[in-house]
């Protein structure tokens, strides 16, 4: 679990197709309007590429570069190839992120790791709730709150402003 004194870390967990990325895309600009500097860590399953075939960075990495850093005046990205068989833990990933100029780190995924999380739940997807089995879930954002048996705060998954207010109250 992230250590006290670190930049606050808050995750969004749910089954695939629930709308984690969609919500974060709406939520981040609202948090930025509140003058928060936001970092994001997204868990990806299986193999993935952020660079595209035909681009120099892609071709150099595919040629065998173990680390490929692409830099410009506007951004930089580091791709590191690993031969590990297990998934990296969130602590390991966060240790690689420069947090010196951040106010909040939002996590998408890593639902098995222990850190504060908001569960996203849409009963229409047919998936069970996660919070009964995860004591790290601090709230549930849903589109159907009726009948939910919990003492957790219930947030409207379709109201990113409400969720942003919950987050800012929690981290301040």
For residue 77, give the CATH number of its domain. 2.20.25.120
Identify the DSSP state of 154: E
pLDDT of residue 2: 53
The total of structural domains in the chain comes to: 2
The helix/strand count (H/E) of the chain reads as: 4, 8
Residues of the chain with pLDDT under 50: 1, 3-4
pLDDT of residue 160: 98
Query: Phi and psi (nearest 5°) for 49?
Result: -130, 135
CATH of the domain at 101: 3.40.50.300
Q: Are residues 100 and 22 in the same domain?
A: yes
% pLDDT > 70, the chain? 96
Contacts of 78 by beta carbon, 8 Å cutoff, 6+ apart: 67, 68, 69
- Among the residues of 10-106, which ranges form H helices? 20-33, 56-62, 90-95
pLDDT of residue 1: 47
Q: Are residues 70 and 59 in the same domain?
A: yes
pTM, full prediction:
0.88
Identify the DSSP state of 127: P
Q: Is 4 inside any structural domain?
A: no
For residue 152, what are the domain limits?
A: 9-43+87-171
pLDDT of residue 5: 54
* First-to-last C-alpha distance (Å) of the chain: 19
Cα 15 from Cα 27, distance rounded (Å): 19
pLDDT of residue 46: 67
Q: Is 34 inside any structural domain?
A: yes
């Amino acid at each position: 679990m992230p250590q006290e004194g670190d930049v606050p870390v808050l995750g969004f967990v749910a089954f695939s197709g629930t709308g984690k990325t969609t919500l974060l895309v709406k939520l981040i600009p609202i948090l930025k309007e509140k003058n928060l500097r936001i970092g994001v860590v997204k868990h990806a399953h299986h193999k993935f590429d952020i660079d595209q075939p035909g681009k120099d960075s892609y071709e150099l990495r595919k040629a065998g570069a173990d680390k490929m850093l692409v830099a410009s005046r506007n951004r930089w990205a580091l791709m590191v190839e690993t031969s590990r068989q297990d998934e990296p833990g969130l602590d390991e990933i966060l240790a690689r992120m420069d947090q010196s100029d951040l106010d909040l780190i939002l996590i998408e995924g890593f639902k098995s790791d222990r850190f504060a999380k908001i569960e996203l739940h849409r009963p229409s997807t047919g998936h069970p709730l996660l919070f009964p089995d995860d004591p790290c879930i601090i709230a549930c954002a849903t589109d159907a709150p009726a009948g939910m048996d919990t003492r957790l705060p219930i947030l409207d998954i379709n109201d990113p402003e409400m969720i942003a207010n919950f987050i800012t109250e929690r981290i301040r």
